[in-house]
Amino acid sequence: MIRKAILQDARQIHRLLLNYAKDGLVLSRSLMEIFEAIRDFYVFVEGDRVVGAAALNICWEDLAEVRSLVVDESFAGRGIGKHLVEACLSEARTLGIGRVFALTYQQAFFEKLGFSVIEKSELPQKIWGDCIKCAKFPECDEIALSRSL
Report the domain count for the chain: 1
What's the pTM? 0.90
| pLDDT tens readout for residues 11-67 | 999 999 999 988 878 888 899 999 999 999 999 999 999 999 999 999 889 999 999
Domain hosting residue 135, numbered range: 2-148
Q: Residue 126 has what pLDDT?
A: 57
pLDDT band for position 142 (50/70/90)?
confident
> What is the CB-side half-sphere exposure of residue 59 using CA atoms within 13 A?
22
Please determine, for residue 131, whether its predicted confidence score (pLDDT) is greater than 80: no
Can you name the residues that pair with 66 across neighbouring β-strands? 56
Q: Residue 128 has what pLDDT?
A: 47
Per DSSP, 26 falls in state S
Q: Residue 1 has what pLDDT?
A: 95
Decide if 105 contacts 143 (C-beta within 8 A): yes
Please determine, for residue 129, whether its predicted confidence score (pLDDT) is greater than 60: no
| pLDDT tens readout for residues 74-128 | 999 999 999 999 999 999 999 999 999 999 999 999 999 999 999 987 886 555 4
Q: Residue 130 has what pLDDT?
A: 56
Amino acid present at 62: D
What is the enclosing helix (H) or strand (E) of 3? strand 2-4
**CATH number of the domain that 102 lies in?**
3.40.630.30
